[in-house]
Structure 1
Amino acid sequence: MSRHYTISELAAEFDITTRSIRFYEEKGLLCPTRSGQARIYSAGDRTKLKLILRGKRLGLSLEESRDIIEMYDPQRDNSPQLQRLIDKIREKREMLKRQLNDIQTLMQELDDAESRCLQALNDTVPSAKEP
């Protein structure tokens, strides 16, 4: 028998809000069944939620995560899905390297500007030897 989860159980397990889970549901990523007013999530929904959150930690957009998750088919070879994920990981890594380089450049420019400002202050402050 397949395990089922309530929205509160998933929220607690993944340390997210129930609103976040409802958001993913609104976006069509999770498809719980209903028992009266209660949402009942399947093991598949739990796995999708885990993958969505992993994608988020990796810097993937919700659409990027959706595309990769939707490629999964247990009846066939999932190499294309894995290759797409690898490609996205490499894209994110390159973007972060560029951002890191930009940050390092900006830090150097800030250091240089601060040094010039401090030097200008020192040059304009009258020395104690002058009358």
Structure 2
Amino acid sequence: MQPITSVSSQPNKAFLLPDLVQTRTPPKEPVAIAEMAEFFGVTHRTLHFYEEKGLLTARRMGLMRVYGCDEIARMALINVCREVGMSVSLIQDLFETLSTATSTSEANLILEEALLGRRRELASNLSTVHRQLQQLNALLDHEEVEAGQLNTEQKGPTLTETEARCLQLMVEGYTPIRIARTLELKTEEVSTVEASIVGKLQAQNRFQAVAKAVLLGLVAN
């Protein structure tokens, strides 16, 4: 059997781990880094990172980096904390506080307080997100209303069949007299139709009405 030595120059502080964290049946120690990574679904780099942050301590058995049962339990707790979104610095603070626990029940209370703090933080974030969503919805609803109004305006007024035919001829440059001949109307009737078109398009005169009609796509230019 190869002798086991610590890889870290500063071994982790020993502390009582809360038993609230349920761990699957761990592999038999010593656990190689590859097996440790696979068991917890993390990468080798992640384990090295936790070692750099003082959360884990690997040991050396010959050329292998290995972990004992205490490190497996620590990693289980780290995983739980990370899954609920706790930062590494908060986990470091948690481990520091756990080092003062004198019993498992006290360790459980420390972990519960940390988790409650995280829940309060998430609830606050959720409230902020909800408020921001309401603001976004209000803005988008307002834009949709404006877009709907714009589309309604852009569709232009509803014209009668005679008005539509008259407007098309106006766009083509027909004079009122020529329009009257083409549509078999009296000149006075054409003047009335044109006045109605100008009014519906909110134009000042027949030339402006023609320009608006083209812009709105009411006629082919």
User: Which TM-score bucket, shorter chain as reference?
Assistant: 0.7 to 0.9
| Distance of aligned partners of 1:32 and 1:123 in 2 relative to their CA distance in 1, 3 Å threshold | same
Name which of 89, 102, 107 aligns with 1:75.
102
Normalising by structure 2, report the TM-score.
0.50
Alignment of 1:93 onto 2:120: no
Q: Tell me if structure 1 keeps the 8 A contact 2:29–2:69.
A: yes
Alignment of 1:40 onto 2:70: no
Partners of 1:21 and 1:90 lie apart in 2 by 29
Partners of 1:111 and 1:12 lie apart in 2 by 48
Partners of 2:158 and 2:46 lie apart in 1 by 64
What are the superposed Cα offsets for residues 36-71 of structure 1, whole Å, 9 maximum, x if unpaired? Answer: 332111222222222222222212111112211332
Partners of 1:104 and 1:49 lie apart in 2 by 40
Which of the two has higher C-alpha Rg? Answer: 2
Q: Tell me if structure 2 keeps the 8 A contact 1:30–1:45.
A: yes
Alignment identity in percent? 26
Name which of 6, 14, 24 aligns with 2:50.
24
What are the superposed Cα offsets for residues 52-96 of structure 1, whole Å, 9 maximum, x if unpaired? Answer: 222222121111122113322463322344323322322222222
Residue correspondences, number:
130
> Over the residues paired in the alignment, what is the CA RMSD in angstroms?
2.5
Normalising by structure 1, report the TM-score.
0.78
What are the superposed Cα offsets for residues 100-119 of structure 1, whole Å, 9 maximum, x if unpaired? Answer: 32223323322332342343
Q: Structure 2: 5+ residue runs without aligned partners?
A: 1-27, 168-221
Cross-structure match for 1:103: 133
Secondary structure (helix, strand or coil) at the match of 1:39 reads strand
